[in-house]
Every structure is written in C-alpha cells, then in structure tokens.
A and B are shown apart, each in its own frame.
Chain A
Amino acid sequence: MNNAPVANSLRTGPNERGRFGEFGGRFVAETLMPLILEVEQAYDAAKADPAFDAELQYYLKHYVGRPSPLWFAERLTKHLGGAKVYFKRDELNHTGSHKANNCMGQILLARRMGKTRIIAETGAGQHGVATATMCALFGLPCTVYMGATDVERQSPNVFRMKLLGAEVKPVTSGAGTLKDAMNEAMRDWVANVTDTYYLIGTVAGPHPYPMMVRDFQSVIGEEAKQQLQEAEGRLPDVAVACIGGGSNAMGLFHPFLDDATVRLIGVEAGGHGIETGEHAASLTGGRPGVLHGNRTYLLQDDDGQIIEAHSISAGLDYPGIGPEHSWLHDIGRVEYVSATDREALAAFQLCTRTEGIIPALEPAHALAHVTKLAPTMAADQIILMNLCGRGDKDIFAVAEHLGVKL
C-alpha cells in the first residue's frame, strides 16, 4: 500500500539535524561522530537504491517470513466484551519477534558498507538473538552486550545466541540491564571504528538510528493497515503497542500518524507502579534529557543522573525512549499510558488461555491496556495490537513470579 506522506504530514521527520521537534539529535563523542555520519550517508544511499529494497524484500519474505498474519482474536474479544481485537502477529517472524525486521535491514546495510564485525546491545535478548541470527546467516562475527541481570533472567536467549555463534558479553556496570549494555556497546564501537557496525535494536541512539530503525519497522504498520482494510474495509479505531525503546510501537504507529481518526496508544512498563518510583515509564515518569546520543524523555534524578528503570520485562527495562515518541507525546498525537508487572502477568495468562498464543512479557503490557480499553468500546469498533514477540523466553521468569518451580 502506498503510504506517501501528505501535506502537513507527521511522517516527514526527522529534520537534517536528526530532530523530531526538540528531540533526537547526535549527542556522541567526537570519535563516533564521523562514524554515525558515515552510517547516515550509507543509509541515505541505500534508501535511494531500488536494489537495496529488492534485496531487503527478498530476505523479509523468504527468511523472516513476512508478511506476518493479522489475527482476529475472537475468543479474547468475546471475553472482554467490547471492541474487536486484532493481533498483528509479529511474534511469528523468524527469531520470534519484530526485531528481525530491523536486524535484516541493518545487516544488509552493514554488508553494503563493507563492515566485517557486528556488535549489538540487548535487553530481553530478542534483539541479540535476531542480530546473532542474521550474523550466522551472513557469516559475520557478532558480539552482543547484555546486562548481567538480564543474562540471568533471560538464560534461554543467552544460550540461543551462543548456539548461533555470537559472543555474549555480560555487562556488570550499573544495574546490569539494557542501559548498561548500550553504554558498553558504544564503548566497543569507539574502540573498533574501522571494521565494526553497531546494530542498534531500537528507535533510540544518535541520528540516523531512530529514523532508520523506524523505517525498517514500519513494515509492521503498513502490512497491518492493508490487512485490516482487506478484513474490515477500514482503519482501526485504536492501535496499541508496548514501549521500551519503542521500535515495535514506532513501526506500528508510523503508517497511521496521518490518519487522524486512529487513536494511537503506547504502553510503557509501569513496573511495581508509577507511584513507587520503580518503573520504566520514561514519558509518564521522566523529563527531557540527553542519553545514548539523543535528547529524549529520561528517568533521571534532580541532578540529571540517570535512574535505573524497573520492569518484569527485560525488553522494556530502559530509562529512556525513542525521541520520535517524545515528540509524538509532546504534540499529543500518541497517548502514552502504563501497565504494571502484575497487569502484564495477568494479560500474559489471559492471552495464552483464550487465544493459544504465549505472548512475550513485552506485548503482554500492551494487552494489559487492551483489556482495560476494549470493554469501554462498542462491538463494531476495532483495536489493532502489535503482538511483537512470543513468550517462550519468558516462561521461566513467569513461573517464578507465579510461584511455580520448573
């Protein structure tokens, strides 16, 4: 479907400085500055090259398994007793999450740039697994930085990455989560500037990453828009996605930004509850600052020191958020809400029992909000939710939270 931006479009960002409104930019050390300019140039050239798109489409179709289905969650809809709930089934991608869309795009870019070594950061391990997978496919050495806490709670994904031939480096600084993994990946990049490509997993980091990752993930929203058109002959009333860094949400939302009738809702991780201070809801509980190369909403104290995020979901456990989300928040185009650990766990179980789909804990947050929203809507209204990852990786953590010994 052609989604060419319209006049006064909200889809034209970022500007030449990599800004979405006042957010984004390129706040990196000078050592890295020439590198991100090189990535930007290479990406601009690739975008303009039909051969690059053809190559990407080939791999997305035959290797990643796109398009992913759109599923009418009928039993869940009946259970909730309101709006029709559709799942965009990005958990059916190869490697089990939406992360494959971006990894495929960026690894093809890295190859085009002649880079011979790939590094990545990962939280839940989904991006790490997707990166390690693409590196195995193309025979590139891969180093994945992962917080030591996350290594502990996501051990199936750690083993998977190792099987795929990646080196997993546990990061012990800070709380040993996604933020610290990203610091360490940037330190690696600074030290290995000539041969290494940094494959960032979310719509954060310095320009051009937020734009590039969004572009690669927008296939989610573009497909869903077309599929819903075929199924229902119209746009959804609401589109919902979970947000850590925000790549699956940006991918779902972006093609709908100019469709003013579509309510867009991003669900942040509320952890133990916003009021406890132990959460990962940067927009709900943070304020603008600069971290990891971009200006965006951050969890920080009064003195500008970054506060550790908390979430049951390692993939949402990040004190920042992609800069385009910060902008969409400030202009009011997207609503940002939160769901707690407990609510996500309940939604996780509900989805499993009513639809036979074990969701990752990340989209379980989106579903938690859907369970609140759907009953308040009419039966002829439609909610489109991005089921961005499958939950196999989470069953050990969920068992522990439910007090079950495996």
Chain B
Amino acid sequence: MSRIAARFADLKRQGRGALIPFVEAWDPDHATSMALLRGMPEAGADLIEIGMPFTDPMADGPIIQAAGKRGLAAGVKVADVLTMVRDFRVADEATPIVLMGYLNPILSYGPERFCVDAAAAGVDGLIIVDLPTEEADVLLPYSNANGLDFIRLIAPTTDDKRLPHVLSGSSGFVYYVAITGITGTRSATAEHLEAAIPRLRKATNLPIAIGFGVRSPEQAGTASRIADAAVVASALIDTLSANLDADGKARPGAVEKVLDQVRALAAAVRR
C-alpha cells in the first residue's frame, strides 16, 4: 500500500480527516523551508504538500506567487526540491509528501527522469496544475511506472459529464479546487462544499481533499469533515512572509509561528 493510501486508511480508522499543510520550497531560503518541512509532522500535518517554484504560476494568487519568487531568488532548482524530500525521509518514513507545481520545469528536467528521481527521493504523489487529463500522457506513464500517485484537480466548473474523464487514471486522492479563482483569494462556503463533495463521491472512491481558500482552523475543520482532507497554503505563507525581515530573511521564531498555526489547524481537524 502506498504511503498516501496507508495514511488515509489510518485516518479513517481514527474517524477524522487529514490536514495537509503546504510549504514552498526554499521560501525564503533552504534552511527555513527545511525546518518547516521537518517540523510539520510533529505539529500535526498528516500529509505535506511541497510547492515547486515556477516563474509563471498561473493558478496562484499574489501570496504564493511571492513565495515562489523568493524560492527562485534563493536559487532553488528542481533537483533541490527532490533533495529536500530525500533529507526529510531520513527521519520520517511515514508522512506522505506530495509535490505541487507546473509542468515546464518537469519537462525541462525530463518527465521520466523526474519521476524516477522523485520516487527514489521519497515523493508519494504529484499535482501538476497545468496538466489536465487531456495532456496527462506526457507524465502519467512515468508516474505510474514509478509508483507515484497522480493527483487530479477537480474544479467547480468540472461538470458531471466530464468528471469520469478527469478522474480516469487518478490515484492517491482527489484535489477539489473549492472556488473558481486563484489561490489565497476567496473561500468556498460550507453550503457549496456540502453540495459539491457528495457529487464527487458518486464518481470516485478515492479520498477527497479540499484546497483553495481554506485558511482558518474553523474552515480546515469544516473541509476535513465534509471531505477527507483540508489543504492550507496561503494562510501559512502569509504568516511566514509577515515574519521576514527587511532583507527577506526569516526572523527568529518565524518557523515556530508557522508551526503553531499548523498546530491550531491540526487541532481543528481533530475536534
């Protein structure tokens, strides 16, 4: 069983949903993002999403755009993101790691080589924002061959007719983009989610995570109960960026502040 499947099975036994916090690689530098990554499981992360910086993150709002920019300014490369995962795995064999990014850096690295190296580093799944089902064949054969889950995004615009098509070949979990919009801007209502998630359940047996617009512990708690997991990204990056000094370096205690926020979110999904 994959780490992702094992983790969701375990949570099901506990009768609760998962918290999936997000960390942008090398934001604002390698050491800070590595400290966040290492601290997240203890703070209550059930799975972790690592953002791979890209110059043109078309689905992201200003907060994650800025995080990616800081990562790129710090000099992060695709290979460095994989190294972060490899270093994380030295002490943590259980927490699933999902990489979220855009296609071009992966194409540039080589899709097959990327999947081989990512699996070897201990990555469990991939979310590629600009790779819809229609184009998935550039990566899917290699992610499958290397045991990486290919996690699909479902949007409010994905209608019932299109759902089975989008879900074909997906594994790990399904990522429901809760709003029509970019990251870190607005939030879906509980009513919207209560209508949307059962629609997805009819089309898939995979666990469902809700992302985009999940910011507060209350929202995370609601999302993890209506679905199976809540992804929180922009709210954590907000905290980090508020704790950077004028040179863009993390102030003392910045990592702890973000991890405290993860703790509060984790408490909410355990309620």
By a beta-carbon cutoff of 8 Å, the part of chain A in contact with chain B is: 17, 25-35, 173-174, 179, 183, 186-187, 190-193, 289-293, 298, 300, 302-306
- Which of A26, A33, A35, A192 is most buried by chain B, counting CB atoms within 10 A of its CB? A33
Number of interface residues of B (CB under 8 A): 40
Contacts of A289 in B (CB 8 A): 104, 107-108
Which residues between 130 and 144 of chain B lie within 8 Å of chain A, taking CB atoms?
A: 130-135
Asked if B157 and A304 make an inter-chain contact with CB atoms under 8 angstroms apart, the answer reads no
Q: A289-B108, A293-B130, A303-B78 are in contact. Are A190 and B182 (CB under 8 A)?
A: yes
Q: A34-B162, A300-B108 are in contact. Are A29 and B55 (CB under 8 A)?
A: no
Which of B2-10, B32-40, B58-66, B226-234 is found at the contact surface with chain A? B58-66
B189 at the binding interface (Cβ < 8 Å): no
Asked if A191 and B132 make an inter-chain contact with CB atoms under 8 angstroms apart, the answer reads no
Distance, CA A396 to CA B147, complexed state (A): 58
Distance, CA A186 to CA B65, complexed state (A): 14
Contacts of B103 in A (CB 8 A): 27, 290
* Pairs across A and B, CB under 8 Å, 25 listed: A27-B131, A27-B132, A29-B130, A29-B177, A30-B155, A31-B59, A31-B153, A32-B157, A33-B132, A34-B155, A34-B159, A183-B57, A183-B58, A190-B180, A190-B181, A289-B107, A290-B103, A291-B104, A292-B56, A298-B104, A302-B108, A304-B54, A305-B105, A306-B56, A306-B104
CB nearest to A304 among chain B residues: B108
Asked if A191 and B55 make an inter-chain contact with CB atoms under 8 angstroms apart, the answer reads no
Asked if B58 and A186 make an inter-chain contact with CB atoms under 8 angstroms apart, the answer reads yes
Contacts of A32 in B (CB 8 A): 157
Contacts of A27 in B (CB 8 A): 103, 130-132, 135
B267 at the binding interface (Cβ < 8 Å): no
Asked if B107 and A290 make an inter-chain contact with CB atoms under 8 angstroms apart, the answer reads yes
Asked if A187 and B56 make an inter-chain contact with CB atoms under 8 angstroms apart, the answer reads no
Interface of A is mostly: mixed
Contacts of A34 in B (CB 8 A): 155, 157-159, 162
Asked if B180 and A31 make an inter-chain contact with CB atoms under 8 angstroms apart, the answer reads yes
How many contacts A-B (CB < 8 Å)? 112
By a beta-carbon cutoff of 8 Å, the part of chain B in contact with chain A is: 54-59, 61, 65, 72, 77-78, 103-109, 129-135, 152-159, 162, 166, 177, 180-182, 185
Distance, CA A26 to CA B156, complexed state (A): 19
Asked if B129 and A29 make an inter-chain contact with CB atoms under 8 angstroms apart, the answer reads yes
Contacts of A191 in B (CB 8 A): 180-182, 185
Contacts of B130 in A (CB 8 A): 27-29, 290, 293
Contacts of A190 in B (CB 8 A): 59, 180-182
Asked if B107 and A303 make an inter-chain contact with CB atoms under 8 angstroms apart, the answer reads no
Asked if A174 and B55 make an inter-chain contact with CB atoms under 8 angstroms apart, the answer reads yes
Distance, CA A27 to CA B106, complexed state (A): 14
Asked if B157 and A35 make an inter-chain contact with CB atoms under 8 angstroms apart, the answer reads yes
Contacts of B133 in A (CB 8 A): 30, 33
Contacts of B61 in A (CB 8 A): 187
Asked if A303 and B109 make an inter-chain contact with CB atoms under 8 angstroms apart, the answer reads yes
Distance, CA A289 to CA B107, complexed state (A): 7
Choose from B105, B108, B157 the contact partner of A31 (Cβ within 8 Å). Answer: B157
Distance, CA A291 to CA B108, complexed state (A): 12
Distance, CA A303 to CA B56, complexed state (A): 13
Distance, CA A292 to CA B77, complexed state (A): 21
Distance, CA A34 to CA B108, complexed state (A): 27
CB nearest to A186 among chain B residues: B58
CB nearest to B72 among chain A residues: A305
Asked if B104 and A290 make an inter-chain contact with CB atoms under 8 angstroms apart, the answer reads yes
Choose from B65, B78, B154 the contact partner of A304 (Cβ within 8 Å). Answer: B78
B226 to chain A, nearest CB (A): 20
Distance, CA A30 to CA B108, complexed state (A): 22
Asked if B132 and A29 make an inter-chain contact with CB atoms under 8 angstroms apart, the answer reads yes
A388 to chain B, nearest CB (A): 26
* Known A31-B155, A289-B107, A302-B108; further 10 A-B contacts with Cβ < 8 A: A17-B134, A25-B134, A27-B130, A31-B177, A183-B58, A187-B59, A187-B61, A290-B103, A290-B130, A304-B107
Distance, CA A240 to CA B131, complexed state (A): 35
Q: A30-B177, A31-B155, A31-B177 are in contact. Are A174 and B56 (CB under 8 A)?
A: yes
CB nearest to A180 among chain B residues: B56
Contacts of B158 in A (CB 8 A): 30, 33-34
B176 to chain A, nearest CB (A): 10
A90 to chain B, nearest CB (A): 30
Distance, CA A304 to CA B238, complexed state (A): 27
